[in-house]
Chains A and B, each alone.
Chain A
Amino acid sequence: MAGYTEDELKEDLKQQDYKFGFVSDIESDKIQKGLNEDVIRLISSKKEEPNWLLEYRLKAFQIWKEMTEPNWAHIKYKKPEFQDIAYYSAPKQTKKYESWDDVDPEMKETMKKLGISMEEQKRLTGTAVDFVMDSVSVATSFKDKLNELGIIFCSFSEAVKEHPKLVKKYLGTVVPATDNFYAALNSAVFSDGSFCYIPKGVRCPMELSTYFRINEGGTGQFERTLVIADESSYVSYLEGCTAPQRDENQLHAAIVELIALDEAEIKYSTVQNWYPGDKNGVGGIYNFVTKRGMCHTRSKISWTQVETGSAITWKYPSCVLRGDYSIGEFYSVAVTNNYQQADTGSKMIHLGKGTKSTIISKGISSGKSHNSYRGLVQINKRAKNARNFTQCDSLLMTDTCGAHTFPYIECKNSSAQIEHEATTSKIGEDQLFYCQQRGLSEEKAIGLIVNGYCKEVLDKMPMEFAVEARKLLTLSLENSVG
């Protein structure tokens, strides 16, 4: 019963448009547009990287050049012009931040507008926050407390310098550069991101959180997140994303790699609210992201996502259930409105014995948008007694949108049990009438019904995040009834 209040909702309902569309006036260090080996060397040297990482990048670049952009997804868009993107943009900083007080006031203002004032976050929720603006991690809070437990939570660049062994050991092991076109691109040009390591047997006492923000125009954002949960450890990780309103389409091609060693558990929650473009489909972020987790014996990875932003979303957070009795979960709400297009879902690759996976996907389409679920459940030969349950539901708000379901179910073991269910339907008119008869306005009734429809997924989110997600859902669907 706690959580979202009617007041908050009401306040938000007044705001009609994308509310994170401001541009912060922060000086940035941006290199010229285009991509070639020299640019990669430049990025690497700006970041003072060791040679092995430069080699990794150059190899990835070679692989990328050989690849073609995938076109199997149910999306239509103008392919990005890869030579017209600046591959590095960092807020200009003269010195390293020693403490929160050193952070540029304009930057602090930006965070405040995003609702992630660090002080407040610290005080209220005890969440450690890493803030990544454009491509660079600018502030990480709560470091000391985490240090005591041996937890490493820092920017990716810092991890490369301070913990090169760990980075070298795990980088690219879950998502190799060869995986796909955008993964190869990211591997070549990634600029920063978050790194997290939880030592053996440690239960991370607070939620770790990263906020991603694209601020500069004409840039792409290519961040990289690597989370390693050592044996029997636990971590809950949150990720939030926003970007300013621009007429151009900006490319976001990130990689998230999760590694859950034996008996570890990782919970990864995302609220994605990249700028979706305007009502006529102009501008917006191209969100082409590769997220994958590797599950070792008896470990568990669960992905929870609420996707309301981006002009185009192409992402399939996945689990490779390599260890016996490991568990993979995917809970997703994807909302599309106006001209947004989303092709999203999950892949569950069952390799180990007794592995289990659950996929719950809720798609809501409105306006002239297209929303597709694409999922793969693969039971391999060795995966004895594997179980999967998949449910994907689509809700249609207008007669001009589309909702599509493309599940792939591949089974090579006779002891597997796989269940897949999908439904597509219109928002219930009888439900609307019932709510309205009790005095609720149409907008409010829709908000209520949609939130109820997504409850299974929202319930999986940490409380504070769920509140934000609920508000976003209501906001994204304003004026959407056909």
Chain B
Amino acid sequence: MNKLQNFRKNFNPTSIPLRKEMLTLSEEILKKNDFPTTKNEKWKYTRLGKLSRLSLEKSKDTSTIKKSSEKISEEAITIEIINGFVNTISDLPKGLIIKSLKDCSKKELAFLGENIHLENEVFHCLNSLYIQDGIYIEIEKDTKLKEEIHIVYNNLSINTFNPTRLYINSKSFSEANIVELFKSDGAENSFVNPVNEAVIHENAKLSITKIQNEEGNNFHIGSDTIYQKKDSFFKCNTITLKGQFIRNNIYVNINGTNCETHLNGAYLMDGKQHVDNQTKIDHFTPNCESHELYKGILDEKATAIFNGKVIVHPDAQKINAFQSNANVLISDDANVNSKPELEIYADDVKCSHGSTTGQLDENAIYYLRSRGISKRKAQAIVSQAFIKDVFSHIDSESSLSYIFKTLEKQHNWEFLD
């Protein structure tokens, strides 16, 4: 029995009535495969050895436990998810539907998996087959949400597999700003596997900010698959503040003209932390633009991977696609692997990417120190200056202040502005 089959043996297929085809296909694919190895181009720099050897249990229903996690803001619409189970959903304004997958109609559930790839995506299959709960969000037509939606994922368990699913249905002309906070208070050896899907209909706007601040020795493999229709806007900011093993996959399919897509990321890692950001933007239609900006600072024995791929398909003319990855290495033991890729099959395009790896500006640090600032603080100031342009893409004030607070605590940063 290979490691994947061994991993699977403790779990039962989901009791949520998802689409049969998706479940059958997932089962088939899982049966034929094993965990990917570094020979698989997508997993070249991230080893799954440790994860694949874990013997995990399924997590127990926590929906009745009353446990209130840290919130980012009191004003936001907040959903709390504990160990993969929906715990609380706050009161909802007009034009917004949020419910547990357990409460969804068959019609709503039928949306799930429509745009997600299962082939070559073992973790999509595991998620589809074994989720115990998840959330369905629908922002109704013409609804421009004033409040932010905050989803707090808290992982408390030991030795469990916690898959969760989020489906976002952004209807035409709607606007929403979603913040996802990932925490793990007291969890150990657990594997969280959030799989998100979003369909952004014509003229709709969706922003997602992910804040990953996960304690303990846990594994996080998440993915977002986004389907953009014409004239739509999508932005995703992925801010990784802490995590022993984090893998983020973002797949954006742009299927309408005049779309705008922004993917931003910041990662500040130390210890033996590992973060792997994979992005893939498929431009199927003309006259769109996409921008990617990922920046990271790595200290001690931390490792970061950035693999960004932009594909401009035939006939997707007049595409502007820009991709940038910049890394600063503080310690000699830190590692970074950067792989920005372009695949272009149309001719009237402007695409570029850049990747830099270097150090903090020594002259700037020297200058600050000559004015009496300690070396550590000077480094912090210069680091902030380096990473700030990623933060400037975050629209949620409360998230920003949460990020600043965390950085102050974790890295003794002081934010000057």
Contacts and interface: CB of A to CB of B under 8 A. Distances in A.
Interface of A: 72, 74, 379, 381, 394, 396-426, 482
Nearest to B298: A414
Interface stretch (B7-15, B188-196, B331-339): B331-339
Contact of A411 (B327, B343, B354): B327
A417 B357 contact: yes
Contacts of A405: 340-343, 353
Given A411-B329, A418-B356, A423-B352, A399 B347 contact: yes
A423 B323 CA distance: 10
A399 B358 contact: no
Nearest to B329: A414
Given A399-B314, A424-B349, A426-B347, A414 B330 contact: yes
A422 B340 CA distance: 9
B103 interface: no
A38 to B, nearest CB: 35
Nearest to B322: A423
A402 B330 CA distance: 39
Given A397-B347, A410-B337, A411-B337, 16 more contacts: A396-B346, A399-B317, A399-B347, A399-B348, A401-B347, A404-B343, A407-B341, A409-B338, A414-B330, A415-B359, A418-B356, A418-B358, A420-B354, A421-B353, A422-B354, A425-B349
21 contacts: A394-B342, A398-B347, A400-B314, A402-B343, A403-B344, A407-B340, A409-B337, A409-B338, A409-B339, A410-B336, A412-B335, A413-B329, A416-B329, A418-B357, A422-B342, A422-B353, A423-B350, A423-B351, A424-B344, A424-B350, A426-B349
A481 to B, nearest CB: 10
B344 A408 contact: no
A398 B314 CA distance: 11
B406 to A, nearest CB: 24
B352 A422 contact: yes
Say what secondary structure dominates the interface of chain A. Answer: strand
A379 B338 CA distance: 12
Nearest to A412: B335
B346 A399 contact: yes
Contacts of B330: 414
B301 to A, nearest CB: 11
A275 B120 CA distance: 38
Given A399-B317, A404-B341, A414-B329, A409 B347 contact: no
Contacts of A379: 357
Interface residues of B, number: 36
B389 interface: no
Contact of A482 (B334, B339, B347, B356): B347
B41 A417 contact: no
* 3 shortest interchain CB distances as A-B pairs: A414-B329, A396-B347, A409-B338
A421 B337 contact: no
B315 interface: yes
B359 A414 contact: yes
Interface of B: 41, 45, 314-315, 317, 327, 329-332, 334-359
Contacts of B317: 399
Contact of B350 (A407, A421, A425): A425
Contacts of A482: 347
Given A414-B332, A414-B359, A418-B358, A396 B340 contact: no
A8 to B, nearest CB: 30
B336 A417 contact: no
A420 B325 CA distance: 10
Nearest to B304: A411
Contacts of A414: 329-332, 334, 359
B339 to A, nearest CB: 5
A135 to B, nearest CB: 35
B309 to A, nearest CB: 9
A424 B356 CA distance: 18
Nearest to B323: A422
A424 B351 contact: yes
Given A404-B341, A411-B329, A422-B342, A417 B348 contact: no
A400 B314 CA distance: 7
A231 B332 CA distance: 32
A24 to B, nearest CB: 39
A468 B347 CA distance: 28
Contacts of B327: 411
A479 B412 CA distance: 63
A407 B307 CA distance: 10
Contact of B341 (A406, A418, A426): A406
B43 to A, nearest CB: 14
B38 to A, nearest CB: 13
B357 A411 contact: yes
A416 B351 CA distance: 27
B358 A416 contact: yes
A413 B351 contact: no
Contact of B340 (A74, A381, A411, A420): A420
B344 A396 contact: yes
B357 A416 contact: yes
Contacts of A411: 327, 329, 335-338, 357
A418 B343 CA distance: 22
B351 A425 contact: yes
Given A399-B317, A418-B357, A426 B337 contact: no
B329 A402 contact: no
B337 A408 contact: yes
A409 B338 CA distance: 5
A5 to B, nearest CB: 31
Contact of B41 (A72, A381, A402, A421): A72
Nearest to B340: A407
B315 A399 contact: yes
A340 to B, nearest CB: 16
Nearest to B334: A414
A400 B317 CA distance: 11
A394 B339 CA distance: 17
B31 to A, nearest CB: 25
B320 to A, nearest CB: 10
B315 to A, nearest CB: 7
Nearest to B351: A424
Given A396-B349, A399-B348, A401-B347, A408 B355 contact: no
Contacts of A417: 356-359
A195 to B, nearest CB: 37
A410 B336 CA distance: 6
Nearest to A427: B347
Contacts of B341: 404-407
A252 B346 CA distance: 31
Given A409-B339, A412-B335, A404 B354 contact: no
B343 A420 contact: no
A418 B347 contact: no
A402 B355 contact: no
A407 B329 contact: no
A394 B346 CA distance: 12
Contacts of A423: 350-352
A410 B45 CA distance: 10
A409 B349 contact: no
A420 B347 contact: no
A412 B315 CA distance: 40
A308 to B, nearest CB: 20
A364 to B, nearest CB: 12
Contacts of A410: 45, 335-337
* Among B330, B344, B347: residue with most chain A CB under 10 A: B347
A379 B336 CA distance: 10
Contacts of A403: 342, 344
A169 B239 CA distance: 53
A256 B363 CA distance: 44
Contacts of A394: 342, 344
A396 B317 CA distance: 12
B171 to A, nearest CB: 35
A420 B342 contact: no
A398 B335 CA distance: 40
A413 B332 contact: yes
A419 B357 CA distance: 7
